[in-house]
Amino acid sequence: MPNDEFMNIHERYKYLRLMQPQYQAASRTERGTLLDTMQTLTHLDRKTLIRLLDSELKRRPREHEREATYKRDVDYVLRVVTESHDYICAERLAPNLVALAEQLARHGEVQLPPQVRAQLATMSVSSVYRHVLHLRQDDPRLARRPPAAPNDVARTIPMKRIAWDEKRPGHFEIDLVHHSGPSSTGQYLHTLQMIDVATAWSERAAVLGRSYQVMADGFQRSQARLPFGIVEVHPDNGAEFLNDLLVQLWREKAKIPELSRSRPYHKNDNRFVEQKNDSLVRAYVGYGRMDTVRQAILLNLIYDRLWLYDNFFQPVLRLAEKEVVTTATGHRIKRHFDRPQTPFERVCATGILSAAHQAQLSHLRQAINPRQLHTEIYDLLEDLLALPNTRGRKTEPIDQTLLPAGCWGALRPFLQPPPPSARRPVSKQETPQPSARAAKGPRVSKIKQ
């Protein structure tokens, strides 16, 4: 029988445990026949088989540790050989171990007695790998990268989800949309978007970079346009939101009663604003890169008009009820939506606006031509997508994108065309950057929730 067909010790014990009941129930003659068969298969002595079959067939723990086969003199030679050959893998080292050791011995790096040489010749790949791994455990290692410092500001803000059936206006989910294109290097534009959970009222502001200065400017720009107060701000865990300066602005200057944040790596905790990032931002400006002051100014002019278009003329659906329905394959949730209304109509239905303020906004809505407003938005989008980006990822001054101090109260929607300085005609030499909307074809009306 070939050597590779011999049973190992585990297979022997398993075979004997299977044969033990038959052996114990057999007669004397039958036991002799069984022992002949087992002796042939296991290559064990007959008396050993009888002793094992009459026992519990459990292996006894070893009472004395086996002496090491390869001792310190072999380990020393192995260490020098592996260090000299840059720690090549055991598969490459083991077949050439003797030749490499003899080469080092000729140059006086190691001593190679006959017994050490003989042991090196018998070392298997597994033994070489195990010994080299053991030898290298004492080598000095490069310092590991320390863990990121905990955000002490985030620890002061509780994690939660704003309820989907929240009735009171003022609970805002807030997020930042990146306009970096395929590369996130350098400074580029972001859209700071705020969505009210109860009414779907939306606010957007374009900011250049993510510094506190531009984030505070974008937030105050959005807050100044709101027709009602902010009760809660609910961002994700980004450092652009959860920092000492911006949190202090929210608590002390903006007087926001409640701050909360989503759980790390749970994007659905900000589900309303994440959905609007696609339908109210990406659907208009696409995924291209924008990184100049002129693009930031023009994008804010577009958002001024989208403030009117989306809040006053775009009906949205709101989830009214969830129902668990039993089917043949299990259970599913059936969602019921209420009557489509614009965010402005939903705000009016809550009764949060005073009569004078509601009348003022109603008069503003009646004075707007939605078709003309739609045309202005897409004319500005064409101009925006035609503007070139910076060359060589140069950084432009962010102070040119900020509103002057004291101008927050004057922020109202602009119905006039943008100033000539912001609207630049596209020259024939420049090829406008194709937008995501142009790639998709004409805009198709879709349900916005």
Q: Residue 159's CB: how many other CB atoms inside 10 A? A: 14
**Would 145 be classed as within a structural domain?**
no
| CATH code of 372's domain | 3.30.420.10
List pLDDT tens digits, range 190-208.
Answer: 999 999 999 999 999 999 9
What per-residue confidence (pLDDT) applies to 4? 57
**Would 142 be classed as within a structural domain?**
no
Whether 403 and 310 share a structural domain: yes
**Would 20 be classed as within a structural domain?**
yes
**Would 349 be classed as within a structural domain?**
yes
Tokens of 435: 């937008």
What per-residue confidence (pLDDT) applies to 160? 93
Whether 96 and 211 share a structural domain: no
**Would 151 be classed as within a structural domain?**
no
Q: Report how many domains make up the chain.
A: 3
Whether 164 and 132 share a structural domain: no
Whether 111 and 43 share a structural domain: no
**Would 144 be classed as within a structural domain?**
no
What per-residue confidence (pLDDT) applies to 183? 87
Tokens of 355: 């009569």
Cα-based distances in Å from 110 to 101, 125, 133: 8, 22, 20
What per-residue confidence (pLDDT) applies to 406? 54
What per-residue confidence (pLDDT) applies to 424? 42
Whether 99 and 45 share a structural domain: no
What per-residue confidence (pLDDT) applies to 3? 53
**Would 324 be classed as within a structural domain?**
yes
Whether 240 and 378 share a structural domain: yes
What per-residue confidence (pLDDT) applies to 97? 92
How far is the C-alpha of 201 from the C-alpha of 195, rounded, in Å?
A: 6
Would you call 243 exposed, middle or buried from its count of C-beta atoms within 10 A (0-12, 13-18, 19+)?
A: middle
Whether 165 and 309 share a structural domain: yes
Contact assessment for residue 373 and residue 347, using Cβ atoms and an 8 Å cutoff: no
Contact assessment for residue 285 and residue 180, using Cβ atoms and an 8 Å cutoff: no
Contacts of 409 (CB under 8 A, 6+ apart): 224
Q: At 190, is the secondary structure helix, strand, or coil?
A: strand
Candidates 175, 171, 174; CA nearest to 232 is 171
Q: For residue 179, give its domain range.
A: 156-440
Whether 203 and 272 share a structural domain: yes
**Would 391 be classed as within a structural domain?**
yes
Whether 197 and 49 share a structural domain: no
Contact assessment for residue 37 and residue 46, using Cβ atoms and an 8 Å cutoff: no
Whether 31 and 102 share a structural domain: no
Whether 122 and 240 share a structural domain: no
CA 443 to chain centre: 31
**Phi, psi of 391, deg, nearest 5:** -100, 135
Tokens of 230: 């902010």
Residues in the chain: 449
Tokens of 28: 């004397």
Which helix (H) or strand (E) segment is 285 a member of? helix 283-285
Contact assessment for residue 78 and residue 124, using Cβ atoms and an 8 Å cutoff: no
Sign of CA dihedral 327, 331, 332, 334: positive
What per-residue confidence (pLDDT) applies to 405? 61
pLDDT per residue as tens, the chain (449 positions): 445 578 888 899 999 999 999 999 999 999 999 999 999 999 999 999 999 999 988 887 777 777 888 989 999 999 999 989 888 899 999 999 999 999 999 999 999 999 999 999 999 999 999 998 888 777 777 777 887 788 889 999 999 999 999 999 999 999 999 999 998 888 999 999 999 999 999 999 999 999 999 999 999 999 999 999 999 999 999 999 999 999 999 999 999 999 999 998 898 999 999 999 999 999 999 999 999 999 999 999 999 999 999 999 999 999 889 899 988 888 899 999 999 999 999 999 999 999 999 999 999 999 999 999 999 999 999 999 999 998 877 889 999 999 876 564 445 443 333 344 444 444 444 444 444 444 444 443 333 43
Whether 112 and 250 share a structural domain: no
